[in-house]
Amino acid sequence: MSQSQNLSQTFLAITRNSTDLEWLQGALAPLGQVVSAGGGSLDELLALVDVTFASLVFIGLDREHVVAQSALIEGALEAKPMLAIVALGDGMDNQLVLNAMRAGARDFVAYGSRSSEVAGLVRRLSKRLPPVAPNTQLGSLTVLYGVQINADGALLATHMAQVVQKSGQQTLLLDLGLPRGDSLALLGLESSFHFGDALRHLRRLDATLIDSAFTNCAAGLRILAYAHHDEPLEHTSTAELYMLLSALRQHFQHIVVNLTGQPDSEALRTFVTHCDKLLWYTDQNVLDCRRNLAVLNLWREKGMKLDHARLLVDRYLRNVAPDSDTLSKSFGMEIIATLVYSPEVRLNAKNQGVTLFELAPREGLTQSLRALGDRLAKRSEGLAKPKSGWFNRLRGAQ
C-alpha cells in the first residue's frame, strides 16, 4: 500500500479511553487507520488534521464535559468547514445526541455499535466529502522491528541508512531501538539533541534546527536517537508522534527507523501502520520467533494491515532448522533477505566503532546490507532531489 493511499484513509478520534479507541480502530480497520487525537485540545486537533489530511473526525461526548466537547466541535468546524465530525457517546442519552447535532456534528454513533454499522456510516459520509490530496513529497519511511532486544538491530539499521544516504538522498536514522542509543555508540558519536528534544520542539522543527542540532556521521547521515532520560515510547502520544513524523518527512527523503526491542504500544503501531516498508527482524531462535509471532498475530487479529511487511532473517545458519522457507510460512511473509552470522566481523565492528563497509567490505554480511540499503533507496528514488536540491531550496527559504 502506498503512502498516499494510507494517508487518504486516516481518521482522527478523541475518545474516553484506549478501549473505545481500539473498538473504533477494529470497526474501521478495512477502511484505514484511526489515529488518536489526544485529549481534546483544538490546536492539537487542527494541527493533526493538517498533517494527516483527515477529513473525518470522531469526538466522544459525555455528560460531565459536554459543554467543552460541543465547543471543540464548533471550533473545529469554524476553522475547517469541510471537516465531517461524527460524535460518539451513549446512544440512550438523547441530550448528548441533541448537543452533538446543534454543535454541527454530521452524525452520532453509540459506543459499542456493530462494526458493520460504523463502517457503513463512514463509507456513506466519505462519498460526500471532498477528495483528499495528500502531500506526495513526503519522504519514504522504513521501519525495522522485532521483539528481541540486542545491539544488532542498531547495527543493521545504521548500515542500511548509510547506504541510502550514499545514494544521494537526504537520510535520517531515527534510532528508537532498545538498548537505547546504540547507533551513536556504534559510530563513536555523541549527541546533545535527542528524540525527546525533538518532541518538545515540534513547532520549531525546521531545516535550521535540523542542521544545527541533529548529529551526523562522516557519510552525512543524520541521526536522532533516544536519550537515557527520554520517556519510554509507549508514553509518547500518537498525536505528537504523528506531527513529528510529518515534520521530519518534509525534510528528509528517507527515514530509517530502528524499533527493535520495543514492547507493543499505540505509538509502535503508529510507526508500523504508517511506514512504507516494514522489515520484521528475527533470527532462527524458536523462542524469539514465538515472541515475534505473538505480537504479529495479535496485530493481525486487530485488523492491522501488514501487506508492506517483509521478513528479515538475521544471523542465518543454513544447516539449522527452522530454515528460511519454514520461517516465511510461519510468519506469512515474503523474505527480503537472510543475513549471515559472521560473529567475528560483527564483534569487531561493535568494539572498534568502525562500519562494516570500512572493516570488511567484501564480507557476505556487508554485501547483503549494501544490497538491502540499495533496495530501500530505489523505493524513494522518485523523491530524490533535482539537481538544485529541493532540500537546499527548503533551507534557503527558512
Model pLDDT for residues 306-321, shown as the tens digit of each residue: 999 999 999 999 999 9
261 & 116 share domain: no
Q: How many CB atoms lie within 10 A of CB 52?
A: 25
Q: Bridge partners of 58? A: 13, 86
* Contacts (Cβ under 8 Å, ≥6 apart) of 78: none
307 shares its domain with 192: yes
Residue 380 forms part of a structural domain: yes
Half-sphere exposure of 156 (CA within 13 A, CB side): 33
Q: CA-CA distance, 8 to 1, in Å (whole number)? A: 11
Structural domain includes residue 291: yes
Looking at the domain assignment, is residue 134 inside a domain? no
Q: Which residues pair with 310 in a beta bridge?
A: 279
158 contact partners, CB below 8 Å, separation of at least 6 = 173, 175, 183, 186, 187, 258, 355
Q: How confident is the model at residue 157 (pLDDT cuts 50, 70, 90)?
A: very high
pLDDT, position 16: 87
- What secondary structure does DSSP assign to 20-46, as a single string? HHHHHHHHHTTT-EEEE-TT--HHHHH
Please check whether residue 306 lies inside any domain of the structure: yes
155 and 12 within one domain: no
Q: Which amino acid is at 325?
A: D
Same domain, yes or no: 378 and 271? yes
Instruction: Give yes or no: residues 93 and 147 share one domain.
Output: no
Would you say residue 42 lies in a domain?
yes
214-243 residue pLDDT tens:
999 988 999 999 999 999 999 998 889 989
Q: Are residues 101 and 176 in the same domain?
A: no
> Are residues 121 and 175 both part of a single domain?
no
Domain shared by 119 and 227, yes or no: no
Model pTM score: 0.88
Are residues 124 and 240 located together in one domain of the fold?
A: no
- Which stretch of 251-255, 285-289, 376-380, 394-398 has the lowest confidence by average pLDDT? 394-398
Percentage of the chain beyond pLDDT 90 is 78
135 belongs to a structural domain: no
CATH number of the domain to which 118 belongs: 3.40.50.2300
- Shared domain for 295 and 368, answered yes or no, is yes
Residue 367 lies in a domain: yes
173 and 302 in a single domain? The answer is yes
Q: Is residue 83 part of a domain?
A: yes
**What pLDDT, in 10s, does the model give residues 145-156?**
999 999 999 999
Among 108, 128, 148, the domain boundary falls at 128
Which has the closest alpha carbon to 12: 308, 41, 1?
A: 41
73, 101, 128 - which closes a domain: 128
Task: Tell me 235's DSSP state.
Answer: G
Instruction: Give the domain-ending residue among 128, 150, 178.
Output: 128
Is 391 or 142 the better-scoring residue by pLDDT? Answer: 142
**CB 357, CB 371: distance < 8 Å:** no
pLDDT at 356 over 80: yes
Helix ranges restricted to H, 104-177 = 115-128, 152-166
Identify the domain containing residue 321 by its residue range: 140-394
Number of domains in the chain: 2
CATH number of the domain to which 387 belongs: 3.40.50.300
Separation of first and last alpha carbons in the chain: 33
Same domain, yes or no: 241 and 145: yes
